[in-house]
Amino acid sequence: MALSDFGSAARNEAGIAAILPILKERFGDIFHASAAMRETHAHTTTYIPSQIPDGVLFARSTADVQEAVRICATHRVPLIPFGTGSSLEGHVNAPAGGISIDTSSMNRVLAVNAQDLDCTVEPGVTREALNTYLRDTGLFFPIDPGANASLGGMAATRASGTNAVRYGTMRENVIALEAVMADGEVVRTAQRARKSSAGYDLTRLLIGSEGTLGIITGLTLKLQGIPEAISGGVCPFPSVEAACDAVILTIQSGIPVARIELVNALQMRALKTYSKLDYPETPCLFLEFHGSPASVAEQAERFGEIAEEFGGGPFLWTVDAEERAKLWKARHDAYWASLTLRPGAKGLSTDVCVPISRLAECIRETEADIEQAGLIAPIVGHVGDGNFHTLVLIDTDDPSDILKAENFVARLNERALRMDGTCTGEHGIGQGKMKFLEAELGHGVAVMRAVKHALDPLNIMNPGKILLPRGV
Amino acid sequence: MALSDFGSAARNEAGIAAILPILKERFGDIFHASAAMRETHAHTTTYIPSQIPDGVLFARSTADVQEAVRICATHRVPLIPFGTGSSLEGHVNAPAGGISIDTSSMNRVLAVNAQDLDCTVEPGVTREALNTYLRDTGLFFPIDPGANASLGGMAATRASGTNAVRYGTMRENVIALEAVMADGEVVRTAQRARKSSAGYDLTRLLIGSEGTLGIITGLTLKLQGIPEAISGGVCPFPSVEAACDAVILTIQSGIPVARIELVNALQMRALKTYSKLDYPETPCLFLEFHGSPASVAEQAERFGEIAEEFGGGPFLWTVDAEERAKLWKARHDAYWASLTLRPGAKGLSTDVCVPISRLAECIRETEADIEQAGLIAPIVGHVGDGNFHTLVLIDTDDPSDILKAENFVARLNERALRMDGTCTGEHGIGQGKMKFLEAELGHGVAVMRAVKHALDPLNIMNPGKILLPRGV
């Protein structure tokens, strides 16, 4: 149980009672109100307590979503969009009850335009399903947040991951969205052209809006050519500072690194036991380079030289896919290895992001903070973007343990803000970070409120996320 | 004079009369109400008639802008932000009168963070001034819309230009904005971190809002390392189709081309006379590649092979800066050469953008349309993005000529929309394209209206741009 109050807005009991039979009658088998189904649509992947919706609709089409929105709007009942449930900040919770709109049945790839390097998909298509579908085209969708999330959910949280340093985040990789707005109208935010100066950027307004402005029902996405060659490997460093200095020089040198991940000493120690491999117990960078065979070799060699300048190395790298997978195994095992550091504990994942010139300082202060607080919290980071995660291992049955973790997270977020960073690089605000958003953007939050009120005057679109209730 | 009605909303005469002495008293020498000064702040670079503001404030600071907004808001008088006046769709006109906020005195580079590849500037800094300032840092700001525009204006119109195919547009190159909103409050849209999932994307909401939601008073911009080497050159093609096919394959092959510009046969004919050079009178592609010395040579060679596949060539290219300038001279002279095709005429520049798979078809139909309409309108294009310009040469004293041009532009924009493109790739909506925005985005325009009304309820921020008055 969490000590923080994540909000439980007043339920509109009369409205909820009114719509359940309407939805059942209208949608039949694709509408569920069983406790079991409702519970699986509020699970959160962190320690924020579940808040269960009153019903679950497995929408099959934009028209289904439209109709659900209109029914809910008439009775002022919340709608909570649901992709795969892998979000980390309570996005799919239903603090005021309402209907979970599960998009997993909207899982068709509608078009692949190979010449234009784009595709159009329904929101329930997962990133792995899309890349499987694209297998024979020579194209792929690069954004990789770790989980096999739905593309609708990834857009809603402005997700990114390990290769954002090269390919950008969802912000840069969505060309257009289709969404059902709070009034039940369907909006297509842009045409399929690569760029446009046609009015306000509704695409970017919806990306990262976490379902609070509209429900995404379609996406047109940029695709990338599968790189001809990939090189990758792992490189130890004497300190986090040395590793970060190498990252900065790598990026300044214009090496188009595809992935550059930091794993700190504590995480490496966990991995050593978990993966039964002979890793050094010092900070390591895991790297991947994409390009022509000549270019990926050149990039790896240049990085090796940079690492050496800062006392790092040896940089073990390869172009062989199998060998590369072995070298990267530690990075892939990081999450599971972390959990072995405190058996039975649950992980709370943070995701601050700072300018990379401040990254070493931010990680060093955070490591000291973790030690002083007596927490166990290994660190991995998408350091090319200045983004890193601590996985705080907590005993969710111990309120003092939760409090300790919550206080640490507050200090971490404040530290990032002080360094001109953000409290969330890629997970979103959800319920967990609402109070930090106010600290981060000041009057900007008032602007967000005005936009929210204009587009969702009844506050039925995923209420209780991003924006604290007024006056809190 | 234009035949189209670009709108001349009712002037609030009482409010305007009230604020002029207030602004003079408050701002003294930096506030101007002379006819001469007012006229230079309404000039438009196209045939849209000038609509002159009632006064011009040379703001020195965010505080000046805030105070002007508060005074204007109290008396319900419009504010029109002004950078260098190089916008193309009447953005700086004052259809309901009001005060031009000239930002040219806000021209300081406030910070350059070389390690983070970013900088923070005031809005009146021009792109050339910024790049001159950066000269010794090894960094540059890539967006190049042709004119030496102000960075505030470039953000306001979501500008791009010749190298967007590699570096993106203003949408991808602004990290954060500071803006004064209609209520006089200052918003900072984001921290300096490279990525963030913290709430609605206010940065992208303001980029492309053309001063209708707030006045940009500061920008944090991404910078790029100056490429170690540049290769470039020119390649003739037997047809626009062949050139476009080469563009598509170049991009599909993952060649990270920095510039890829199409010049059509009519434009080449004009250049032949104007530049006194022995150019072929067939469509040509002008290209530039950035990277390591080995890579720019490899890219140019690979492109040459692709060109040959489609009957193009010879591809004349070089890594020598002076030689490259010579090869690119035709592209740089294109605008002035065009004007010689019809001495005394004024140019109307269009900027549709379509998916590149439709580009050849769109240009071919447009060339036929131009011929059939009896217009003179050469074509140049940023074809890597699917974006091209026709420069329609019109006699602005001849209403039938203007009508002919306007009808052509309407057909061109409709053609682009039919091909899933946009009526504006980079110039913005302004006054000139308001009716096409409705055709392009349908209900999306209602969403924009709701956002506009929420953030500027008095409609004082650059009114009469982007959104047609309701009911039109």
- Domain over A227-340 is classified CATH 3.90.1150.10: no
Q: Which residues of B touch A423 (CB under 8 A)?
A: 198
Please tell me the distance in Å from A124's CA to the nearest CA on chain B: 21
pLDDT of residue B1: 41
Cβ pair A353:B253 closer than 8 A:
no
d(CA B267, CA B338): 7
Question: Helices A321-339 and A265-274: crossing angle, nearest 10°?
Answer: 100
Cβ pair A225:B425 closer than 8 A:
no
CATH number of B228-339: 3.30.70.3450
Q: Choose among A185, A193, A455: nearest Cβ to B425.
A: A193
Cβ pair A186:B443 closer than 8 A:
yes
B159 to chain A: nearest residue by CA? A197
pLDDT in tens, chain B (472 residues): 455 666 666 899 999 999 999 999 999 999 999 999 999 999 777 788 899 999 999 999 999 999 999 999 999 999 999 999 999 999 999 999 999 999 999 999 999 999 999 999 999 999 999 999 999 999 999 999 999 999 999 999 999 999 999 999 999 999 999 999 999 999 999 999 999 999 999 999 999 999 999 999 999 999 999 999 999 999 999 999 999 999 999 999 889 999 999 999 999 999 888 888 787 899 999 999 999 898 899 999 999 999 999 999 999 999 999 999 988 888 888 888 999 999 999 999 999 999 999 999 999 999 999 999 999 999 999 999 999 999 999 998 999 999 999 999 999 999 999 999 999 999 999 999 999 999 999 999 999 999 999 999 999 999 999 999 864 4
Stated as kind and residue range, the H or E segment containing B175 is strand B174-181
B173 to chain A: nearest residue by CA? A172
pLDDT of residue B126: 98
E-only strand ranges, A128-282: 139-140, 174-181, 186-188, 214-222, 224-225, 229-236, 259-263
Please tell me the distance in Å from A125's CA to the nearest CA on chain B: 21
Which candidate, B243, B265, B221, places its Cα nearest to that of B113? B221
Please tell me the distance in Å from B202's CA to the nearest CA on chain A: 8
Which residues touch A338 (CB under 8 Å, ≥6 apart)?
A267, A270, A347, A378, A391, A393
Residue ranges covered by each domain of chain B: 109-225, 228-339, 342-427
Cβ pair B424:A198 closer than 8 A:
yes
Query: Would you say A103 and A122 are in contact if contact means Cβ atoms under 8 Å apart?
Result: yes
DSSP assignments along A363-417, one per residue: HHHHHHHHHHHT----EEEETTTTEEEEEEEE-TT-HHHHHHHHHHHHHHHHHHH
Residue B190 gets the label, from left (phi > 0), alpha (psi -120 to 50) or beta, of: beta
d(CA B432, CA B411): 14
Please tell me the distance in Å from B36's CA to the nearest CA on chain A: 31
Quote the radius of gyration of chain A (alpha carbons, Å).
22
CATH number of A13-104: 3.30.43.10
Placement of tokens 């106010």 in the chain:
A438
Which residues touch B5 (CB under 8 Å, ≥6 apart)?
none
Cβ pair B197:A428 closer than 8 A:
yes
Cβ pair B202:A455 closer than 8 A:
no
State the best of B87, B118, B171, B197 to mutate against chain A, taking most chain A CBs within 10 Å.
B197
Cβ pair A114:B355 closer than 8 A:
no
Q: B51: how many CB neighbours lie within 10 A of its CB?
A: 22
Please tell me the distance in Å from B240's CA to the nearest CA on chain A: 17
pLDDT in tens, B359-402: 999 999 999 999 999 999 999 999 999 999 999 999 989 999 99
Which residues touch B319 (CB under 8 Å, ≥6 apart)?
B229, B230, B231, B293, B296, B297
Residue B356 gets the label, from left (phi > 0), alpha (psi -120 to 50) or beta, of: alpha
Fold topology of A342-433: Alpha-Beta Plaits (3.30.70)
Q: Which amino acid is at B463?
A: P
d(CA B55, CA B38): 6
Residues in chain A predicted with pLDDT less than 50, given as ranges, are 1, 471-472
Which residues touch B13 (CB under 8 Å, ≥6 apart)?
none
Lookup: tokens for A65: 């979503």
d(CA A88, CA B354): 38
Q: Which residues of A touch B198 (CB under 8 A)?
A: 422-424, 429, 433, 437, 440-441
Query: Would you say B157 and B148 are in contact if contact means Cβ atoms under 8 Å apart?
Result: no
CATH number of A109-225: 3.30.465.10
Q: Which residues of B touch A425 (CB under 8 A)?
A: 193, 195-197
DSSP assignments along A71-87, one per residue: HHHHTT--EEEESSS--
How many CB pairs lie under 8 A apart between chains A and B?
282
* Alpha helices per DSSP H over A75-232: 127-134, 151-156, 164-167, 170-173, 202-206
d(CA A81, CA A100): 6
Angle at B449 between CA B445 and CA B452, to 5 degrees: 135
Q: Which residues of A touch B171 (CB under 8 A)?
A: 195, 201, 204
Cβ pair A171:B450 closer than 8 A:
no
Query: Would you say B187 and A444 are in contact if contact means Cβ atoms under 8 Å apart?
Result: yes
State the best of A140, A200, A220 to mutate against chain B, taking most chain B CBs within 10 Å.
A200
Please tell me the distance in Å from A67's CA to the nearest CA on chain B: 17
Please tell me the distance in Å from A233's CA to the nearest CA on chain B: 23
Which candidate, B68, B63, B40, places its Cα nearest to that of B52? B40
Q: How far is CA B349 from the centre of its chain?
A: 11
Which candidate, A89, A313, A117, A340, places its Cα nearest to that of A226? A117
Lookup: tokens for A429: 């605000």
Please tell me the distance in Å from A329's CA to the nearest CA on chain B: 27
> What single DSSP character describes residue B424?
B
Number of helices (H), then strands (E), belonging to chain A: the values are: 16, 18
Cβ pair A252:B117 closer than 8 A:
yes
**Do B228-339 and B342-427 have matching folds?**
yes
B266 backbone dihedrals φ, ψ, rounded to 5°: -60, -45
A448 to chain B: nearest residue by CA? B200
Core vs surface per residue A413-450: b (16+ CB within 10 A) or e = bebbbebbbbbbbbbbbbbbbbebbbebbeebbbbbbb
Long-range contacts of B8-11 (CB under 8 A, 24+ apart): B8/B51, B8/B95, B8/B96, B8/B464, B9/B95, B9/B96, B9/B463, B9/B464, B9/B469, B10/B96, B11/B96, B11/B97
pLDDT of residue B4: 62
Q: Choose among B168, B193, B429: nearest Cβ to A422.
A: B193
pLDDT of residue A5: 63
Q: Which residues of B touch A291 (CB under 8 A)?
A: 254
Stated as kind and residue range, the H or E segment containing B232 is strand B229-236
Three-state DSSP class for B305?
helix
Q: Which residues of A touch B387 (CB under 8 A)?
A: 193-195
d(CA B93, CA B465): 9
Torsion of CA A373, A374, A380, A383, to 10 degrees: 30
pLDDT of residue A472: 42
CATH number of B342-427: 3.30.70.2740
d(CA B4, CA A458): 40
Cβ pair B386:A202 closer than 8 A:
no
Beta bridge partners of B423: none
